Each structure stands twice: as C-alpha cells, then as structure tokens.
A and B are shown apart, each in its own frame.
Chain A
C-alpha cells in the first residue's frame, strides 16, 4: 500500500509546476555556480603553491644564515584550499585559518583574508552545501506545506482516507516521496556539477572526491528530511494551506536566517569572555612588572659578542615575557574556543547548522580542521625547540642563553635546511571525522524523528473534512 501511495505522490509531483521550476533553479545554480567556484579554488590553490614556495625560500635563506634567527622567526601556517571545497567551504574563509608559531611558542591564530575582497559584503560562497542550506531546505518546505492541508482543501484527503489506508502509511508515503523527489533534484544538480568539473578539469575527480560527494548526499538527505518533517508538521497544524504556508515560511526564516545570524549576539551575552583589550592590558601589566623587577642593564646588548653577561639577563627577561604572555594568551585562546563551541551548540536547534557542522567534519575542514592543526602544531613546536636546543648544545660558540625573540646569545651557525623539522598538515583519519560529526548526525536524526512523530500525532486527530 505504501508503495502505491509513494508512486502516486511521485507521479503527482513529477508533472507539477513546482517540481519543474525547482529542478530548473537547482540545476541552473549547480550549472552556473560550479564553474566559478572551481575556478576560484584553482586560482587559490595556485596562489597557495606560490605562497608555500615563498615561505620555503625564506625558510631556506634564514636556515642557511643562522639557526637562531630561524628559531625565533614567527612563521605562519595557513591551510591549503581543499579541492572538496566545492562541496562546502566549511566557513574556512571566515574561521581562523592562520596559526603563527616559532620554536618557542605557538603564538595564536588569525583570519587570513588571502584573496578575499573585503569590499564585497560577507556572504556564503556558492558551494553545493549552500544550495542545500538555502534552496533545498526551502524547497522541502515548499513541497510539504500543503501536503495535507492542500489535499484537505481539494477534498482528496477524505477520499484517500476512505480507502483502507492507514493514516500512518499515507503520511509516511508522502514524507518519503517528497524526500526522494528532492534528493533526485539534488542528485541531478550534483551530476551537472560533476560533469562540469570533469570538463573543466579544475579538480581531480578521484575515488576520494566521489566518496565525499556520496557522503554529502547522505548528509543532505538528513537535512532535507528534517525540513520536510517541519513542512508536514505545519501542514497538519493548520486547517488551510495558506496558514501552513505562513508557518512554514516562519520556520524557514527562523532556522536559516534568524538563528545563524543572532548566534554571535547570544554568545556574547550568554557566554561572555574577556575582551582582547583586557587581556592585552594584563599582558602589558605583567610585562611592566617583570621589566621593573629586572636587574639593571638587562636591555644592554652588543652585536658580535654573544658572551656579554648582559645578554644572559636579557635572555632571562625575554623568556619571562614570553612565559607570562603565553600564560595569558593560551588561557584566552582556550576561552575563545570554548565560547565558540558553546555558541555552536546554541545554534544546534537549527537543522541547517547541524548539517553544516557534520558536513564540515566529514569533509575534513573548518573548525574540525583548525583544532587538529592547532593541537598538531603544539606537538611540532616542542619538536622544533628540542631540535634547536640539540644543535645549540653542540655549538661551542654559544652561551646557551635562550632568548625567544632575539639572536644574541645562542648559536649563530647555519644549518642544512633539509635537516630542520618542518610542519606539514596531516590528513584527518575517518575515525576522527566520525567522532566529531557523530554528535551532530545523531541529533539531526532524532530531531527529524521527533518532528515526524509529532506530525503523526497531529495527523491522527486531523479532520479531513
């Protein structure tokens, strides 16, 4: 019976105007959006390669000049543009994507604008996940809002129910047919996108990428189902389709526009943290106290004379500066991350956010990627420092007074750049992604289940007259 209902529903939709227009819009967006994004990714990858080359040259130059200068040099690690960014950019443009470190410390993170134009208003990039978030969520509501109330108005609902169909299977049949219809639309869109990628050759279509597409389709299926459930809920809540439309539109505005846009405000009110200014002030205060307590002559220096006794004072002072700054900055960094994570949790009420975060982890981008790099870089920094100290210890001409900012009192030997440990980003394992995204996926499934059950409860008491 369920099969009959699904087939009937699908047939109805296939010939409907909304299906045709929706299909047209989605395929059009995939068709004209993809080449642009592919080209942008390609350009950014080239620019990134150029950047890495510049960085490597600078690294070599300093390494073959003086190891100490290399150790104290602030280097920044930036994330290379993922080729699966066409699926979702995972907010990588706006999230911190640059981590600065030296041998002594991982200083902090920043948002690198790269080739982003600050004169353009900030908005989502036209990736495939944007299509799901903006269009398919809307279409799901548009297809579902009159699924019950519309049939009631056309008097076909009473007719259907007078046959020996259970209300549950009618509801479920409608639910399944809408989802499969939207998935079909999305699949065709993705297909168009893939063909364009294949023709343009900007991105390599390997097994990994296909797997990403597949996972993306499954995740978007979850997102679409939740919106369909909401659409049907608004349909069974109202007596006529006009009202269910209003409810649906309000739900969409709430989930897609209001919640994501008000998260920051709520975050700052509900989970306040110190301002950067306050943190800077306490760093400055500590610095001044340390400076005042430092023995006289701590700031004296002489080039070409590493063993000048004042250099030891200077190194100690600089080291204590670093230590105190690190203490404040590290605490602040983890505060910021905690605030961000809590804010994200606030937005979990919106299926769009759940979809966004799980896609992010699945594709190995965004915050998930940042966290992994942040932790890995701390491990690397220890290694780099250990290496530096080892080389320094072997140098007779160095007094071994470690100064994290200046090249006065440690080795001035050059090293072979090849022997210096270099940081490179490790790809995340599937297990890591899974643990990160599992929470979001489970919530999304439960969410959809709950809404659909609500829908069922209301439909049981729905008056088809």
Chain B
C-alpha cells in the first residue's frame, strides 16, 4: 500500500510545475557551477605546473648550499571540484627556510591573479547542492499533508482502511522518489562534464569518496524532506506551511552558518598577522645585531682583517641566509664562511623561538575553527558541508597534515646539512673552483685592473650543486575513507538522529492530525 501511495505521488509530482522548475533550475545552475569550478581548477593546475617547474629549475640551478632552500607547491585536489573546502583561502607555496618554521602555505590567498576579484564570492558544487536540494526538498514536502487535506483527498484515502503510518510513509517515500532522480542527475551531470573536459580524472579511492558524498547528500535531502513534512503535519494550511518552511530554510541554510562564524570569530580572538610579524622581526633584529656587533668583529679580529678590507667582486644575498660570492679574495671568503658556520645554527635556533609565537597563533586558528564546527551542529547545511570537505580532503585537517609533513621535511634537510657539515663548507657561500680564487684583495684588484676577469668571477658561470642524496619532499595523504568518515562521525550521527527524531515527530503529530 505504501508503494501505491508513493507511486501515485511520484507520478503526480512529475507533472507538477515545481518538478519542472526544480529540474530546470538544477539543469541550468549545476553545469554552470561545475564549469566555473572546472575553470578555476584548470587555472590552479596550470599554476601548480608552472610553479613546480619553476621550483625545480630553481633548485637545480642552485650553486651554493646557502641557496638550497627548496620550494614546495601543494598540488590541487581533483575532489575540490565538488567541495572547495578551505583550499581557496590559503596559498599553495611553502618555502623551506631555516630561519622560520612554516605555519601555513603562503602565496596568493586565492587562485585569482586579480586580488580585487576575491571580493566576489564563488560557490562550489556542494554549496549549490546544499542550497538547491534543501529548497527543493521543502518545496515538495511543505504541503505533503496540508494539500491532501485542502483537496479533501485525505479523508477519502484514510477512510479506505489505509493506516496513517502507511499513508505517511507512502507520501514521504513519494517525495524521495521524486527528488532522487534530480539529485542523481546533478551528480551524473557534473561527473560527465568533468570527465569530458579532460582536465582531470579520479583515483579509485576518490570514486569511493564521491559515492559516499552522494549518500550523504541523500541523507541531507532527507533531513529537509522530513522537516517540511513535519511542518506540514503541524499546520492546517499549505500557505502557512510554506511560509514556515521557507523561513526555516533561510534560517538553517544561511543564517545559522553565518551566526556560527560570527560567534567563533568574536569569542576567540586571533592576533593580527602584522603584529605577529613585528615580534618576529624583533627576533630577527637580535640576530642581525649579534651578527654585526659580536660575531663579525670577533671573526675579523681572529682573521686580522678590517671592515674596509672586505670588498666583493660579485655578491648576492638575501635575508634568509642565502649568500653567494665569486671573484672575491680568499680571506674575505674565509670570513664569510666562518660567519655562516657560526650564525646559521643560531638562525635555526631562532626559528624555534619564532615558532612558539607562530604556533600560538596557529593554535588559535584551529581553536576558532573547532568552535565554529561545534556551532555548525545547529545547522544541517553546516554539517553537510563539513562532511563534504572532509570527504573531499580539503578541510583544515588535510592542510595540517600537509604542513606537518613540510615541517618534518625541513628537520630532515637541516639534519642532512649538519651531518655533512655543509654549514661550515666553503661551498656554502661560493661555487667558484678553489684554485681560481684570488688569494688576497690586492691580487683580486690587480686582475680586475687588467680587465681580463675570469669567467668564474661571475656567480652564474660557476657549476651547480649535485643534488644526489639530498632529501626531497614527498607527501601522500594517509587518510583513507574510514579515517575521513571517523572524523565527521559526529556530524553523520547527528544527521541520522535528526532524521529519526523528525520521523517520530511526524508520526506523532500526524497521528492526531485533523483530516477535516
């Protein structure tokens, strides 16, 4: 009997205006959203390739150990086509720097070249699904009981010996049957567009994640169907039911997530990054003061040289400790070598000092995120989006995992430098062959005066480093489906609980529904 009612409702729904409008809306909006996201993904992928090649070239062209600071680019995740998560908020580039322990990837905060365009929001597939499907679910379910009552058909049906629970289940099943094809169509359409575009393909485990994403979308849809049905069973008229349903919709889909963010942001304060930077600069200044006022005079004294004696033919350097020189006299090079040998370990120690400050802020960021997540339990939409970004592996946990790996890699690299004593190696500051280095400043000046400067006096003419044996970065997500599901287990259980509570409530309230 349930099946009969469901089938009747399904067929009736199929020819209704709302089904047509709903399907057309989905058919227009979903492909458009996917196209936008595909375009975005394509740009990110191109950028990833360009940056990776750049980083690789840069590494391969390194001539001195002090320039060996690999740049790591975080690859875009194909599943971000479905849920963008927080990938758009953080950069993709991490520089392995000995003076700093990286907290978050840097680079453009978004993939867009034009920072002005960031002021426009962009919505992903899951975002649009969570809006459309919830709306459709309510539009189909708000009059599930009231319409039959208004048309007088409910009296008729219930007088024919159909039990109320059966009637109720049949009606709800009918809505599910109507909406399932639309939902399925949305997913299939997007997957087809993605596959046809040829930008990317999914790995087997990603397919499994997608299937689960679909399953949770059904669960999400069910929550709203049941909510609409519950509202319908509580009121007498469809016109009342729709108003309440829609106001509930805007409350749960848009307002609760906004409130959750608002609360999280006001309850947990995040220090302004620029102020943190000033504290870090303070540590840097101590470093440079120590370098100029203590280390340098001491080494000068030991080497018996003065500041004015030091002149460089070709030198370039940076704040991160990079220094390369060529054509410079041997004693000046010795001075530089000893400077680096003494100061680089201090720089690494300073990084640990800075990390305490940076970590503090990072913890605050994660604390704020956790609070927001907890508050999102008040909204099915929030929960659904959290589950989706966890399944698509671009939530804050995936980012943390990546950054942990980067930090570990940095440690490995430093250990490699230490065991090979690269900090005190002459190669740390020059790539010029030792026999071509002028022994004194006078000799350097004499050669320079002849105008016959050897090629090796220019940095760029000297040989590059042999990178054999240098540890390289690799990152593979270790989080498999069970882990991902486990992470959002609370949300999943909560959604299920909401569904069952709503079902019970409907059964209870429909049981005493006045059919007249």
Contacts and interface: CB of A to CB of B under 8 A. Distances in A.
A242 B272 contact: no
B274 A112 contact: yes
B339 interface: no
B258 A114 contact: no
A339 B116 contact: yes
B368 A120 contact: yes
Interface string A281-304: 000000000000000100111111
A126 B307 CA distance: 59
Contacts of A261: 36, 120-123
B86 A118 contact: yes
A54 B278 contact: yes
B404 to A, nearest CB: 15
Interface residues of B, number: 84
A429 interface: no
Contact of A300 (B117, B244, B312): B312
B261 A120 contact: yes
A432 interface: no
Contact of A95 (B35, B47, B119, B128): B119
A171 interface: no
A300 B118 contact: no
B290 interface: no
Interface residues on A, range: 35 or more
A275 B43 CA distance: 10
Contact of B239 (A112, A118, A138, A150): A150
A257 B118 contact: no
A37 B273 contact: no
Contact of A250 (B21, B113, B257): B21
A122 interface: yes
Interface in A229-254: 241-243, 245-246, 249-250, 253
A121 B116 contact: no
A273 B314 CA distance: 38
A95 B408 CA distance: 35
B494 interface: no
A261 B104 CA distance: 27
Contacts of B269: 43, 115
A265 interface: yes
A198 B506 CA distance: 44
B229 interface: no
A41 to B, nearest CB: 9
Interface in B240-255: 240, 242-244, 246-247, 250-251, 254-255
A276 B113 contact: yes
A96 B255 contact: no
Given A241-B239, A339-B117, A119 B123 contact: no
A264 B90 CA distance: 18
Contact of A257 (B112, B114, B123, B278): B123
A302 B89 contact: no
B310 to A, nearest CB: 8
Contacts of B267: 36
B295 interface: no
B368 A117 contact: yes
A25 to B, nearest CB: 6
Contacts of A40: 262, 265-266
Contact of B261 (A126, A246, A340, A367): A126
A118 B399 CA distance: 11
Contact of A111 (B21, B29, B115, B385): B115
A336 B274 contact: no
Contacts of A50: 272, 275
A168 interface: no
Nearest to B249: A138
Contacts of B369: 117, 119-120
Interface string B9-29: 000000001100100010001
A337 interface: yes
B109 A111 contact: yes
Contacts of B40: 265
A117 B275 contact: no
Given A118-B104, A121-B86, A242-B18, A51 B262 contact: no
A91 B265 contact: no
Interface stretch (A16-24, A189-197, A417-425): A16-24
Interface in B20-51: 21, 25, 29, 32, 35-36, 39-40, 47, 50
A387 interface: no
Nearest to A301: B312
Interface in A72-114: 78, 91, 94-96, 109-114
B257 A119 contact: no
B334 interface: no
A135 interface: yes
B274 A78 contact: yes
B372 interface: yes
A51 B272 contact: yes
B17 A304 contact: no
Contacts of A113: 109, 273
A262 B116 contact: no
B44 to A, nearest CB: 12
Contacts of B321: none
Given A115-B269, A119-B366, A276-B113, A245 B242 contact: yes
Given A118-B86, A122-B89, 12 more contacts: A25-B247, A36-B263, A110-B115, A117-B270, A120-B369, A123-B261, A241-B239, A262-B36, A264-B120, A265-B40, A305-B308, A340-B114
12 contacts: A25-B251, A36-B265, A117-B365, A118-B104, A118-B109, A118-B365, A120-B369, A134-B250, A246-B139, A267-B120, A301-B311, A339-B114
Interface of A: 17-18, 21-22, 25, 29, 32-33, 35-37, 39-40, 43-44, 47-48, 50-51, 54, 58, 78, 91, 94-96, 109-126, 130, 134-135, 138, 142, 146, 150, 241-243, 245-246, 249-250, 253, 257-258, 260-265, 267-268, 273, 275-277, 296, 299-305, 336-337, 339-340, 343, 347, 366-367
Interface of B: 17-18, 21, 25, 29, 32, 35-36, 39-40, 47, 50, 85-86, 88-90, 104, 108-109, 112-123, 128, 131-132, 135, 139, 239-240, 242-244, 246-247, 250-251, 254-255, 257-259, 261-267, 269-275, 278, 281, 307-308, 311-316, 365-366, 368-369, 372, 385, 396, 399, 453
